[in-house]
Amino acid sequence: MDALIIYPENKEQLSAIKAVMKAMKVVFEERSNVYPEHVTNGVKDSVNQAEEGQLSAYKGIRDMLKKE
């Protein structure tokens, strides 16, 4: 069977969706984070580095290996 990922926009939508699923006896699990914390932290760190100009263009593996 297929699975659904639902992104409610507010608490009222979330409550309504949960109520309908419970009434229909649909099994579901609730997660507060779609992605693991280490992934979201890595993205935030990368965005901060980009905003501070700390990133350089990737030109190839050889350039990456030369950096220390």
pLDDT digits (tens, 9 = 90+) for 14-54: 999 999 999 999 999 888 767 888 988 999 999 999 999 99
6, 17 contact by CB (below 8 A): yes
The CA-to-CA distance between both ends of the chain, in Å, stands at: 49
Per-residue pLDDT, 48: 94
Comparing 14 with 55, which gets the higher pLDDT?
14
Domain regions of the chain by residue span: 11-66
Per-residue pLDDT, 56: 78
pLDDT confidence band for 13 (50 / 70 / 90): very high
Whether pLDDT at 57 is above 90 = no
Per-residue pLDDT, 61: 83
